[in-house]
Copies of this chain bind each other. A is one copy, B any other.
């Protein structure tokens, strides 16, 4: 099987959520797997001097409209959460911790968290809520609560962010395939075009 699609996202990125509803099917289409990587955009914005989309004059209003429209036109359930954006340290740490032993469960958790935030309006940034959602998937929330407060798991998230930055990741969603970078939900179509062109180039 060819190398996986590395799929980077922040839980507080609507376009990241949109991509999460499509990335596995796209990966299958290309005969690949998708590896899901939660990151914190805040750390990335520090490196690039960028700001959250919805807080930029003019662009902010447009992006809220475009998010709702994108969801509607693609048939993705979505209600703009409030507050937004939020810090997503808690669910990111839980996902990274769980993913060490069980990537499939970590991905199921990520889906559950994004559905909770973007459909049910749950405040997933709060550790209590992030843990409760893990509990719904049968995880031991007591052990998880200890884990995400540990230095080891904190370091795991810092390392994930650093590695993403080193690979040139500056937004969400961000996909890397054989080293080729793609940024944005609207680049999923580009990935299809690119993969077809690559196949034709190397028959």
Contacts and interface: CB of A to CB of B under 8 A. Distances in A.
Given A59-B50, A73-B194, A194-B69, A186 B183 contact: no
Contacts of A184: 186
Contacts of A165: 58
B69 A190 contact: yes
Contacts of A190: 69-70, 73, 186
B66 A183 contact: yes
A72 B168 CA distance: 22
Contacts of A181: 62, 65
A183 B62 contact: yes
Contacts of A69: 190, 194
A152 interface: no
A61 interface: yes
A23 B96 CA distance: 44
A49 interface: yes
Given A73-B190, A186-B184, A168 B62 contact: yes
A55 to B, nearest CB: 10
A1 interface: no
Given A48-B57, A56-B49, A62 B194 contact: no
B61 A56 contact: no
A143 interface: no
A61 B168 contact: yes
A194 B187 CA distance: 18
Nearest to A165: B58
Contacts of A169: 58
13 contacts: A47-B58, A48-B56, A48-B57, A50-B56, A50-B59, A57-B170, A58-B168, A58-B170, A62-B168, A62-B183, A72-B197, A186-B186, A186-B190
Given A48-B58, A73-B193, A186-B189, 10 more contacts: A47-B58, A48-B59, A50-B59, A58-B168, A58-B170, A62-B183, A69-B190, A72-B197, A73-B197, A184-B186
